[in-house]
Amino acid sequence: MGGFESFLFSFFNPKVMATYLPMIAQGFGLTIVLALLIVVSGLISGLALAVLRSFGLRVLNWGIIFVVDLFRALPPLVIIVLLFFGLPAAGISISGFAATWLSLSLVLMAFAEEIFWAGITAVPKGQWEAARSTGLTFLQTLRMVVLPQALRITIPPLTNRTIAITKGTALGSVVGVAEILGAAQSGMAFSGNPSPLTLGAIAYLILFIPVVAFGRWVETRFAWKR
C-alpha cells in the first residue's frame, strides 16, 4: 500500500466512516444543544452584570469586576475540570454536560460583561443627560436610550467572542461528553482508525461555517455605522 493509499485508508476509510456516522451525528446534535445553552445563558448573564454595574454601587462593582476577571483569566478547561472533579468533594455532583455548559457559560459571561460595559460607557454622556432632562428615570434612560446604542456598538466583538467560546464545546470530551469530538474519539478508539476524527472535523465545518457566516451578516446588518 502506497503512501497516498495508506493516508486514505487511515483518514477516509469508507467502511469505518459509514459505521460511526450515526455516532458523530448524535454528537453533532448534542453540540448544537450545548452551544445554544452556552450562548443564551452566557450573553444574558453578561448583560445582566453590565446593567448592574451601571448603577455605580462600589461594593457591587468590585464583586462584579473580581468575578469577571477571574473567569477571563482561568482557561475554560481548568474550570471544567474543577467543576466536574472538585464539586463532588463538596457533596455536589454534576454531569460532564452540566460542567461544560456552566464553565463555558461563565467564561462567555465574563467576556460579554466587559464588552457590554464597554458599549455602555461608549455612549456619550450627553445622551444620558438629554434623556434625564426629559423626565426619564435612570432605568428608562438605560433601557430606551443607552442600551439600544450600546448593543449595536458591541455586536462585532461580541459575535467574534461568542463564536470562539462556543467552539470550546470540544473541551467537554475531557469529562466524557459525547459531543462531536467525544464521539469521534470514541469511534477512533473502537475502530483503531482515525477516520471518525475526519468525520468530526467535517461536522465542525458544517456546524460553524454557517455560524461564522451568520455572525458576519449580523455585524453587517446591525452593527453601529458611523
Dump pLDDT digits (tens) for 36-76. 999 999 999 999 999 999 998 999 999 999 999 999 999 99
The topology under which CATH files domain 3-222 is MetI-like fold (1.10.3720)
Backbone angles phi, psi at 137, to 5 degrees: -75, 175
- Give the residue among 35, 19, 24, 59 at the shortest CA–CA distance from 168: 35
> Which band of pLDDT confidence, cut at 50, 70 and 90, is reported for residue 1?
low
Question: What does pTM read for this prediction?
Answer: 0.90
The Cα 98–Cα 92 span in angstroms is 12
Query: In 196-209, which positions are buried (b, 16+ CB within 10 angstroms) versus exposed (e)?
Result: bbbbbeebbeebbe
The Cα 29–Cα 23 span in angstroms is 10
Dump pLDDT digits (tens) for 152-199. 888 888 888 888 888 889 999 888 898 999 999 999 998 888 999 999
Question: What average pLDDT score do residues 72-84 get?
Answer: 94
Mean pLDDT of the chain: 90
Q: How far is CA 217 from the centre of its chain?
A: 18
What DSSP element (H or E) covers 171?
none
The Cα 74–Cα 61 span in angstroms is 20
31, 169 Cβ separation under 8 angstroms: yes
> pLDDT: is 45 or 128 the higher one?
45
Least confident of 4-8, 92-96, 101-105, 112-116: 4-8
Burial (CB count within 10 angstroms: exposed 0-12, middle 13-18, buried 19+), residue 24: buried
What's residue 223's pLDDT? 64
What grid cell was written down for 6?
495508506
DSSP 170: G
Q: Indicate whether 225 pLDDT > 80.
A: no
DSSP 89: G
Q: Where are the domains of the chain?
A: 3-222
